[in-house]
Structure 1
């Protein structure tokens, strides 16, 4: 069973839900009315945090689950947790200034690459 990977998946979805609500709060705080997508730097950063996370979810989630299936649940969950921590660091940094988003992006990017490359390696080994 993949209980740990399921838990990390739910935590990633919870984090995404949190940053989605943050965009709504930022709209209210900065006065950026729907359907506008720009207008205040604080709102624009909150929106980009949400969109960048959404852009990474189709890379992260399949890689997470394939890693759990082809390698193991605990390893997937551990690396998946690192990905979430990276997204949190990204959120904190980018919320302050665009120039501060790098460390979180690096952490989550490395975690996603490890999940993807680890799965690819395990799959190739099984095919040969």
Structure 2
């Protein structure tokens, strides 16, 4: 059987690159608007970039845990597919939120649905493994 764990690893790298992009965006807006650290107050464009970064970081932890639990207990390949959906959702969220915060919903929903699917699948996989192997 082929080693399929490089696929969820690739999804992990993609997710970290999305977070890095949010970090760069927030840093650029901080510099552009001369918002000196540690201040979080500034123009609307800066605040949006900062919220995008913070929200992405908040979502990264449950996503990564769910991704790898799903990969281990269900399927590395399907974990990667759902991971790619999460990444696409977060990119859509980032672009939409920066342009117009009121339109951030679809990207958030796509990413949240992927994360929920990963978590639910991981839970089912773990429960099945407990009862099948015990």
Partner of 1:72: 75
Q: Alignment RMSD, CA only?
A: 0.9
Partner of 1:103: 106
Mapping for residues 84-103 of structure 1, pairs under 5 Å: 84-103=87-106
Is residue 2:45 matched to residue 1:50?
A: no
Larger-gyration structure (1/2)? 2
The offset of 1:74, in angstroms, is: 0.8
Q: Distance in 2 between matches of 1:32 and 1:97?
A: 21
Q: Deviations over 1:71-96 (max 9, x none)?
A: 11110000000000000000011001
Runs in 1 of length 4+ with deviation above 4 angstroms?
none
Partner of 1:32: 35
What runs of 5+ residues in structure 2 fail to find an aligned partner?
Answer: none
Q: Deviations over 1:92-111 (max 9, x none)?
A: 11001211110000000000
TM-score of the two chains, using structure 1 as the length reference:
0.96
TM-score of the two chains, using structure 2 as the length reference:
0.92
Q: How many residue pairs end up in the alignment?
A: 128
